[in-house]
Amino acid sequence: MVCATTLQRKMLLLPVWASMLLGLLMGFVPVVGMEPTEGAKSDFDHAPNTEPLPSSSGTNCSQLTLKLEFSSKVVEHEYIIAFTGYFSAKARSLYISSALRNSGDRTLEWHIVPRQNPASDFPSDFELVHIRQASPSSLLTLEDHPYIKRVTPQRKVFRMLKYIPSPETAAPCNATRQSWQSSRPFRRTSLSLGSGFWHATGRHSSRRLLRAIPRHVAQILQADVLWQMGHTGSGVKVAVFDTGLSEKHPHFKNVKERTNWTNEKTLDDGLGHGTFVAGVIASMRECQGFAPDSELHIFRVFTNNQVSYTSWFLDAFNYAILKKIDVLNLSIGGPDFMDHPFVDKVWELTANRVIMVSAIGNDGPLYGTLNNPADQMDVIGVGGIDFEDNIARFSSRGMTTWELPGGYGRVKPDIVTYGSGVRGSGLKEGCRSLSGTSVASPVVAGAVTLLVSTVLNRELVNPASMKQALIASARRLPGVNMFEQGHGKLDLIRAYQILNSYKPQASLSPSYIDLTECPYMWPYCSQPIYYGGMPTIVNVTILNGMGVTGRIVDKPIWQPYLPQNGDHIDVAVSYSPVLWPWAGYLAVSISVAKKAASWEGVAQGHVMVTVVSPAENDSEAGGELTSTVKLPIKVKIVPTPPRSKRVLWDQYHNLRYPPGYFPRDNLRMKNDPLDWNGDHIHTNFRDMYQHLRSMGYFVEVLGAPITCFDASQYGTLLMVDSEEEYFPEEITKLRRDIDNGLSLIIFSDWYNTSVMRKVKFYDENTRQWWMPDTGGANVPALNDLISVWGMAFSDGLYEGDFTLADHDMYYASGCSIARFPEDGIVIAKNLKDQGLEVLKQETAVVEGVPILGLYQTPSDGGGRIALYGDSNCIDDSHRQKDCFWMLDALLQYTSYSMTPPSLSHSHSRVAPPTGTERPLPQRLEGNHLYRYSKVLEPHLGDPKPRPLPACPHLSWAKPQPLNETAPSNLWKHQKLLSVDLDKVALPNVRAYRPQVRPLSPGESGAWDIPGGIMPGRYNQEVGQTIPVFAFLGAMVVLSFFVVQLTKSKSKPKRRKPRIKRPTYLQQQQQTTTGKTPGV
């Protein structure tokens, strides 16, 4: 019985071992080295700005929320002098001294600021000069030199990191807590540090046990498929412009060069941001990067105090060109797309075949918040998503605003990828999870580096061809529009398939125009087109993969499909005369033909464009490469709506930063002082536009002077937050239009010259003590426009909460109505005097401030006018309480002459002000609005209006009709030429397992991959081999017990002498033991 008892114990242990092994296989039971289920909270309340990111060596996972504050300091007397070419240091000095001698100022003190960095030994195209008390004439004399292109002030930025403890319990490393913060930097800054998105996130609840071990982003995007084929980034030079990297960091094995461009004597990363970015791209262990064999070139362009200068970037960019960098990651950005030295250098970089990847910004969910340089056509702009494929709230949205107000923006971002809760290398060792578009940017940069290494003919790889492969292979996210996701989510394997069957060609972004496809084609799909409406403008980017320069031959051809009613639309096309570098634009204007004024249906056609580029290989026939691309167009046409339903938005008179200092409309927003969102119905007035469409109104955009539209077609002209002046002819025409039935609604904003002088310190991006050239709105210009009806706004500045018609309202830095006709309706409220608070830091409440006025003009059949002193309640930028209900009421009044009873019988109605109490606001003396205005021009004394420009005239393309059926699916139909993803299969994957690298002396073996297995060169296979090892172990254990059981059965038993018992006792024993006694 001893053997039987022992065997029974062994068999009882069998299910225990089996359950443990099954637990290992399923990931339920932790093993040695697995990360904990709960992440540790940050130990920092407010760390100094030089403090590195907290170490993650203990848990291999850090939960961080970092807040960044900005400040800046004027770099007095320092100027960047850009030359027309690259010259030696001696030649640059001679040119500058020659130019300054010609200024005639003998007392001028100047010297060249030495720049001790690796680029100082090479020719350069700029110089940093210290000029004491430089006069405007001295700077102009410099720019007059034939070899000097531009003179701009030196810029300096401070960034301070603060660690803010989360009020909630720390979530697991892969769990979710959306803790984000927008700071909207108004200068070029790091897009992770700069916007406070360094924090662990995740959207996975504790019920998702299978997600308890987070996979690394490289594995999620299937980089391991390419690794197993032998592609690991070898031979590709990738540059990281950031905060540096430690020399002996255990995650990196192929750091070719570390360079310091700052004024600190160190190459190491003292903050952790540069290390994290480099790790996402090229880490070889723990939190693996995409291309561990790539050549890392580390450019330290930020100090440990988070300081950087424009000149540092320019020198570093020049050095990257000299080093023939292939891929460059730039996790910085800012709204200033007119920062000429920086933008010009980016163009030069891409023209030298450097593939630049940049983050689009952390200023979402507001639209029109793209950062530069990611908004440039030649740069791959990257947005962020979470691991549930939702667009990250912080990710900036399109459209680009370069083209406003006259045209329309382009589609950006180009592509989106994981940017929330991504794991990367810690400062010294271990991993951490961070969020932000500057996290998504190195994900794409790492993927691009890996893709470049897969191409045998590297001559085919350039900024255009890489972008073509990425956007053609991207996976579109459902329910998301193109200004949020661009072309979709990064698909590494499909991009590999396309890139390895690529032939040089041109392509379009977007590749088709479908005004019926919602929501992807929002806002185009949100409103059908009709006869008499403003032409719909679609700005398409031409990508030229054939060469850095190219041109469009002949003219684009418009070919309508007759079976699909293509002859019901007219198309006009304008385009870049030269495609450089690698890209250009194709602006398509679509309008409805007169014969379709009462027709409803869908019309289709396409535009054919032929692009040629000089062949890099002269052996090519004719020395040129040619590519013809097709742009399908599909629109929804409806009969022209009635006049009362048509609203015209005045875009022409909106100005924004850059180029000038145009302050925010809400002075409470001190951390966001610049008006830089374009003031468009599809950017920061998107919610208002959506509301008007839901109410049945048709909203059109006027990108030309008031003299350029037919007022008889529209019920209401809507002017919101106008900063521009008005031509005298516009004032005359508007008066005539209103007499003939057009109505006008104006949402104004603050304008006070004393406050404008007070807030001059806000303009830090230009590094000059400039005062704003206008207020939140140009009230003196608006008063000139409406003075003929006896109306005017004041220079008062008010804020406060109030109730109007049972709706809660907030007045945010608005003005009041100073003068109004006596037979009009005026609503007044008690508000705080914000101007007094700004100027004297005193608080006072003003009773009966007139804020809303309604007036019916006396002429027969005349229109109506409504004035309101604040636009923040319909602006998405800083809206606290919307007033869309009031806009509805005003449109009912202006379009249908229906006076809202809630306003006409309001207890807040007062007698209209006469304007005799205080003088009307005057323009700020000495302002420089003429520098940025389309209306004013400089003149002796006060600026004068320019001559009224001619109205835009579109040259409609002559149609070449096609009697054939249009393709039904425009998106699927439009792929790169000669590339069919269904036919491009992955090659046979050969077994590939790189060597295991042993630990260095003193290096910790504790890391975050389950199983405690020693990290190898690419431990992406660890997650795959753990189940295999566990399974084999289970088989060995099971085999052991089977063998033991077999032995126990076959081994002869020694019998003991026993007393013969009766038969019935023997039968009872058999039923008890289940065995037959031996003979």
Decide if 687 contacts 677 (C-beta within 8 A). no
Radius of gyration of the chain from its Cα atoms, rounded to whole angstroms:
34
Residues 6 or more apart from 624 whose CB is under 8 A from it?
612, 613, 614, 615
CA distance 266 to 51: 15
In angstroms, the CA 771 to CA 209 distance is: 58
For residue 268, indicate whether it is catalytic.
Answer: no
Q: What is the pLDDT of residue 184?
A: 41
Q: What is the pLDDT of residue 766?
A: 42
In degrees and rounded to multiples of 5, residue 1032 shows phi and psi of -65, -40
Active site residue: 179, 283, 435, 438, which one? 438
pLDDT at 353 over 50: yes
- Residues 6 or more apart whose Cβ sits within 8 Å of residue 1074: none
Long-range contacts of 900-909 (CB under 8 A, 24+ apart): 900/805, 902/805, 902/806, 903/805, 903/825, 903/827, 903/852, 903/854, 904/825, 904/854, 906/804, 906/805, 906/827, 908/804, 908/827, 908/828, 908/829, 909/825, 909/826, 909/827, 909/828
- Residue at 844: amino acid letter: A
Whether the predicted pLDDT of 916 surpasses 90: no
For the stretch 229-276, pLDDT in tens is 999 999 999 999 999 999 999 999 999 999 999 989 999 999 899 999
Nearest to 337 by CA among 314, 360, 357, 317: 360
Q: Are strands 380-385 and 355-359 parallel, antiparallel or unpaired?
A: parallel
Comparing 301-315, 404-418, 575-589, 682-696, the range with the smallest average pLDDT is 301-315
**944 DSSP β-pair partners:** 937
340 is catalytic: no
Residue 242 annotated among the catalytic residues of the structure: yes
The pTM of this model reads 0.80
In sequence order, the β-bridge partners of residue 727 are none
Assess contact for 717 and 710: CB atoms under 8 A: no
Q: Identify which has the larger pLDDT, 208 or 128.
A: 128
Q: Comparing C-alpha atoms, which of 299, 367, 362, 239 is closest to residue 119?
A: 299
Catalytic residue from among 224, 242, 378, 665: 242
pLDDT of 596 strictly over 70: yes
What mean pLDDT do residues 170-180 have?
Answer: 34
Section 951-955 average pLDDT: 92
Among 495-499, 546-550, 947-951, 982-986, the minimum mean pLDDT is found in 982-986
Q: Which of 273, 297, 487, 568 is catalytic?
A: 273
3-state secondary structure of 327: strand
693 within 8 A of 526, measured Cβ to Cβ: yes
Average pLDDT over every residue of 520-547: 96
pLDDT in tens, 857-878: 998 999 999 999 999 999 998 8
pLDDT at position 98 is 87
- CA–CA separation, 705 and 726 (whole Å): 8
Of 227-241, 647-661, 946-960, the one with minimum mean pLDDT is 647-661
| Token pair 């000429």: residue | 340
| pLDDT score for 979 | 60
Are residues 813 and 834 in contact, defined by beta-carbon separation less than 8 angstroms?
A: yes
- In this prediction, residues 1013-1030 reach a mean pLDDT of 46
| Token code pair at residue 510 | 């977007």
Cα dihedral across residues 396, 399, 400, 405: positive or negative: negative
What is the tens place of the pLDDT at every residue in 37-90?
333 333 323 333 444 544 443 334 444 433 333 344 557 788 889 999 999 999
Per-residue pLDDT of 453-496, as tens digits, reads 999 999 999 999 999 999 999 999 999 999 999 999 999 999 99
**Cβ-based neighbour number of residue 564 at 10 Å:** 18
pLDDT tens-digit readout, 97-124: 888 887 767 677 888 998 888 988 899 9
Other C-beta atoms closer than 10 Å to the C-beta of 703 total 21
